A and B are shown apart, each in its own frame.
Chain A
């Protein structure tokens, strides 16, 4: 049976909130373009476009998300998007303010900035892109790089002695009291893609409804720096990356607990 509403435009057309440019600027097989699409669709479905402000961290999102997502969008210095977003949300509380940050941006240089923002209980949302390396600068080791994973700054493979442990953003966010939603999703299969969109929507809704901070970590492929084909990347996510970074919703609450006598 054919669903007549599923036209080509609906399935693969340009989302309403995406700037109708006939190209992407990502490497072949990169998942960032899919994430742009997810964000655009969620903004449209939640009717947030007119009051949305996006902030991109430094990395492959820096000069690209602001081009493609048709809302007020500013690229931020490395790791500082949560501080800038804090000010933008406090000044215009009615706006919907979200950050898009890579693993170096959020997990390394901006870890303190991010953790302080979510510990203050800022009413923001974050899309955290985990591709296990520094994409823009040439695939160097990131906090999210797996043990044994070879990068240009860990040529023998990441060694836990001296370089520590893979960084778990979603679990960390879930441990913070003022966080309403935290999930890790992946984009390596159509099923996972749909789960990813659901998670982004759930995270965005937490802010839109005034509940609290929402966080989604997306495992995403970096074929150029992983030196794999797009298909091999998806297989590597399935076989290796998910073992270190389990998918799932780590926190989902409808109320942030505050002391009873606090108003």
Chain B
């Protein structure tokens, strides 16, 4: 077994990126992901890497875009408002089919929200794309520090393999909770494509130069041809990378559908229910694009009742309802079901504790 360390999800992200061979980090401080930029600024110079503190997330995303054009593994990390600022660049990266990784450690929105506290209010933006142009990103959502470490390695492999931007998602809870993480190096097939397009100076490529203006121009085609080709590509990628997790669903008659940190709380709630003889189960999409619609439908229809639990006002629930095709009822435990501690300063906080989830779901009438 590899070495185990006690680190939070943010440090696990940074260490996972370095384990994946990323040596180029461009970022701007924002809570609650500051531990990533701090770690990178400290560690990258020690291993011959590049750390640039940008002036904005807009600049971060374009350093990632420019860096990706050199063919090297590059990344940035941010939190919700910063990710919104990156949307234009995300669209350009998708158009150019550049491999890169962006981490979003979510906090509550909209706007400045709670200034850096927990939230899962970016689901639509992440899963459906907040930028223009009908693009797709692979989006993988971690629910533990270990997954942060592992998913970074997975993300860089996918990015290179499919020439896509991969988003690794965590949130305040995952990012700032310390857990034991096994620093294991994951093995991937040796099947990554070459990068003859890399802009590193033609001298390094036998005098053959690369140039790029836009996807349609680069491919000598028309925009409709581009969309036809890239959509087929996305469909293939969706089949290859789809990930999900079921928990105690074999005999369940009520399914909690959730994602990220909320899924872990749901697992706890399921355990509580099981001790009282209630046959609950839980399901999460690990990749929120592609979304495991068929897999969710199978367990959801079998259970007959579905409750979506998310630290948001109801975003994931739209995809859950879509998956259920109106055949079984779908209810929601949203952010306002949170346990809210007393006191003025705590007024905006609270958490969806497992006990809260259990009580909210138990008293639902079907």
Contacts and interface: CB of A to CB of B under 8 A. Distances in A.
A79 to B, nearest CB: 9
Contacts of B63: 83-84, 86-87
B62 A91 contact: no
B199 A88 contact: yes
A19 B25 CA distance: 35
B55 A85 contact: no
A4 B58 CA distance: 54
Nearest to B53: A120
Contacts of B199: 53, 72-74, 88
B88 interface: yes
A85 B66 contact: yes
A109 B50 CA distance: 27
A112 B52 contact: no
Contacts of A14: none
A84 B62 contact: yes
A157 B69 CA distance: 42
B108 to A, nearest CB: 27
B85 to A, nearest CB: 12
Contact of A83 (B59, B74, B209): B59
Interface in B73-127: 74, 88-89, 92
B52 A90 contact: yes
A181 interface: no
Contacts of A80: 58-59, 62, 65, 89
Interface string B204-216: 1001011111100
B41 interface: no
Given A87-B52, A88-B67, A91-B70, A116 B213 contact: no
Contacts of B214: 63, 75
Interface in A53-105: 53, 55, 62-63, 66-67, 70-77, 80, 83-88, 90-92, 95-96
Contact of A53 (B24, B64, B201): B201
A84 B199 CA distance: 11
A87 B64 contact: yes
Contacts of B5: none
Contacts of B134: none
Contact of B211 (A72, A86, A116): A72
Nearest to B72: A91
A86 B66 contact: yes
A52 interface: yes
A72 B213 CA distance: 12
Interface in B182-222: 199-204, 207, 209-214, 217
B201 A76 contact: no
B69 A88 contact: yes
Given A50-B202, A84-B69, A73 B62 contact: no
B212 A92 contact: no
A67 B201 contact: no
Contacts of A120: 52
B139 to A, nearest CB: 22
Interface in B35-75: 50, 52, 54-56, 58-59, 62-67, 69-70, 72, 74
B195 to A, nearest CB: 13
A113 B210 CA distance: 25
Contacts, number: 118
A51 interface: yes
Of B69, B74, B89, chain A has the most CB atoms within 10 Å of the CB of B69
Interface residues of B, number: 36
B58 A113 contact: yes
A135 interface: no
B62 to A, nearest CB: 4
B21 to A, nearest CB: 14
Nearest to A89: B66
B26 interface: yes
Nearest to B69: A74
B74 A72 contact: no
A77 B92 contact: yes
A66 B63 CA distance: 19
B196 to A, nearest CB: 12
A91 B211 contact: no
A77 B91 CA distance: 10
A86 B62 CA distance: 9
A70 B202 CA distance: 9
A113 B92 contact: no
A49 interface: yes
Interface in A89-135: 90-92, 95-96, 112-113, 116, 120
16 contacts: A66-B211, A72-B202, A73-B212, A74-B211, A74-B212, A75-B212, A83-B63, A85-B66, A86-B63, A87-B52, A88-B66, A90-B50, A91-B50, A91-B72, A95-B200, A96-B201
Interface of A: 49-53, 55, 62-63, 66-67, 70-77, 80, 83-88, 90-92, 95-96, 112-113, 116, 120
Lowest 10 A-B CB distances belong to which pairs? A50-B203, A84-B66, A83-B62, A87-B67, A87-B66, A51-B201, A116-B55, A87-B63, A80-B62, A75-B213
